[in-house]
Each structure stands twice: as structure tokens, then as C-alpha cells.
Amino acid sequence: MTRFTYEGTTFSGQPVSGIARALDSEALCAQLRIEGVLLIEARPVPTGGTWSRLSLRHGYDMAITRFFRHLATLVGAGVPLSKALDGLAQRAQGRAWARTLTDIAERVRTGSSLAQALSASGGIFAGVAIPMIAAAESGGTLAEVLDRIAGFREKWEAVNRKVRGALVYPAVVSIIAVAVVWIMLAHVVPVFAQMFANLGADLPRPTRILLSLSSSARIWWWVIPVLAAAVALGYGAAKRRPGWRLRFAQWGLRLPLLGDILGKVSVARVSRTAATLLENGVPLLPGLRTAAKTAGNVAIECVFLDAADAVESGKPLSEPLAGVRQIPPLASQMLSTGEESANLGRMFGRLADLYEAEADAAVTVITAVIEPALVVVMGIIVAAILIALYLPMFDVLSQIGG
């Protein structure tokens, strides 16, 4: 589907604008007409590259969390909803985000509910928030639910930051190690190679191997960036195919050490979302399907979507989850207990607490082990290069001494 920025008017003549997704401009026109808006102009939003999309999504995630926290505080303090939205729109950072909040405030002023206004914002607020807010507006508990949504997103982002931090450090150290080795092979070793050629002595095998690697690094240096670009493009193309996305997700869960953490983080995400939805009155089936989409791992998402289908056919939730390799056995046992006690929402919350704590502890341990291990490996590589460079000198000195 294409994202459009649009301008239009309500049936009463009030101008409106915003962002929405539709198959084409005609579908957008029909969609807006259902919402009581006459379309005047629609423009497709240009699609950026992978990096820009990731940066935009990450920036919106942080802004959305702050939006819900501030809105919960204002509504809880008795500020009218439309006035609170106006104030947040005026203080918003970034033109696109300010325009989005202004559009939401305008929709609420013209009679839309907050849930309707959020759902019309081009999919930015898709997921947990909208069904919860719709239920809260019906029950008169908007401030409390907004606070819960903000807390839910803050916990989610804290776990994500921890996992990202554990992955970034090894990646940065590895890149630095590769850069140091390449600089030594391409610039330092050739200086010694010229000196060895002037000596005319037979070189030890480690030194000959090092000189060969240095020559290859200077001649074939372009192979590494070409291979990296090819792998990145191939991975990006494969990820757009559902079958390959599922395979990559399954392979990620099988990685030593890291796979267990990724699995627990995904189950914790789904459990936290399901707990938040169920405790706020959302029915089990739509709540579980919405929660499954927050897993961040296609394999885990498919498991919970299949479980939702099984529940729809009359089976208990714990049954399709039992024996599934991607789901820890404790999870199905705890959910079975929750079903028996008719307290599934609270049990999902305890499950999320458990796996968030376990993932946090595992990340801390792995980070503590990987950091010195990478430094030691880097030191060994540099030491091996230096030893191979100085071995011929030791031979020459021993011959002179003899």
C-alpha cells in the first residue's frame, strides 16, 4: 500500500489534512469519504532507502512513547483532550511529527474519538494503542489507559535498548579489529617486506604467509566491500520474501547464546502486549493476534497466530503452544494455569516479567564475556602479525652473533 499526504474538507466545510495508506488515490478517496472527508488533493509520500526507513521508524517509536506519556499526564491532570493535543502539537519536534499531531488534534476537535484520529494517521499508531484507547473511551478510563500504554512502551524500549547495546559493542569492536588488521597488512607489512628483500635472507614460513596476505590485501582490497554490498543487497531482497523472512527468523533463534535471548525477548514482547490488551478489556482472539504482530520475529509471530487460530476452533491456548520448539515449556505451563484460573491477562504479565528479567540477565552475562574475549582475540591477531614480522630479524641477529 502507498502512503499519501492529503488535503480535504469535511461535509461541513472544515479543512483537514493528514497522512493515510491506500492502494491508490481512488481507494484513498473512498476511504476518506467513509470517514466524512471530501478529498481535494493527494500526494504519494516518497519512499526512502533502508537506512532512512529504519531511522524514521526508530525516531517515531521514541516520539510516540513520549506522546503517550505526556498525554496521560495532561489528561490525568484534568486538561481537556483537544487542548492537550493542541499543546503537544505545538511543542512537537520535526515538521512531519508536528503535522501528524496537528492532524490528530484537528480530527478530535471535529468530533472524532481519539482512537479514530489515531487510526487515521497513516499506520503510525497501528498495534496495541488503538483498541485499548477505543475500549477506554467507552469506559471512561482514558487517562489510566494512556498511562498503561506509556508504561508498556517504556518497558518495551528498555528491553530493546539492552539487546541493541549487546549487539552493537561486538560489531563495533569487530569492525575496528578488521580495520586495524587491514591497515597493518596494507601499510605496515610492505615496509618490512622491502627491508627483507634487501637482506636477501630466507624467510620463515609465518613471515612468508604474512607477506602473501599483505600482497593479496593490497591487490584484492575491493573484494571485501563488494562482497559486503552483495550480501547486504541479497539479504534485503530475501527479507522481502515471506518464506525467506521465516527462514532467517528460525535461523536467528538457533544461534548459539544469542538465539535463546532473541526467543525470550520475542515471547516477552508478545506476552507484555497480550497482558496489556487483555487487562484493558480487549477480547482474547483480537488481542492475541495484535500481540503476535509485536513479536519482532516472524517465527514467533507465526506460532502465536497459529495458536489464535486453534483457540478460535475451540482449543485452549496452552495446547498449541506446548511442544513448540520456539516457545519455552514454562510459557505454555504458565498460560495453562492462567486459563484454569480465568486470569490469563495477569499470567501473560508475569510471563513477560520473567522473560524480560531472564533476557536482561543473559545479555549482561554475554556482554561481560564477549568484551574481554574480543579484546584478547584482537590482541592475539596483532601479536601474531608482529611475531611474523620480527622472526627474520631474530634469525639475522642469531647469524651475526654466531
- Confidence band, pLDDT 50/70/90 cuts, at residue 269: confident
Residue-wise pLDDT for 326-335, tens only, equals 777 778 888 8
pLDDT of 201: 66
Residue-wise pLDDT for 287-296, tens only, equals 888 888 878 8
Sheet with 37-44, side-by-side order of all strands: 15-22, 2-10, 37-44
pLDDT of 55: 41
Q: Which three cell numbers stand for residue 138?
A: 467507552
Which pTM was predicted?
0.65
Percent with pLDDT over 90 in the chain: 0
- Confidence band, pLDDT 50/70/90 cuts, at residue 54: very low
CATH code for 155-402? Answer: 1.20.81.30
Q: What's the average model confidence in pLDDT over 169-195?
A: 83
Residue-wise pLDDT for 60-99, tens only, equals 677 888 888 888 888 888 888 888 898 888 888 778 888 8
Q: Is the pLDDT of residue 53 over 80?
A: no
Q: Is the pLDDT of residue 51 over 60?
A: no
Burial of 217 (C-beta count, 10 Å sphere; 0-12/13-18/19+): buried
Mean of pLDDT over the chain? 79
User: In the chain, what are the domain boundaries?
Assistant: 1-47, 48-126, 155-402
pLDDT of 128: 66
Residue-wise pLDDT for 212-231, tens only, equals 888 888 888 788 889 888 98
pLDDT of 270: 86
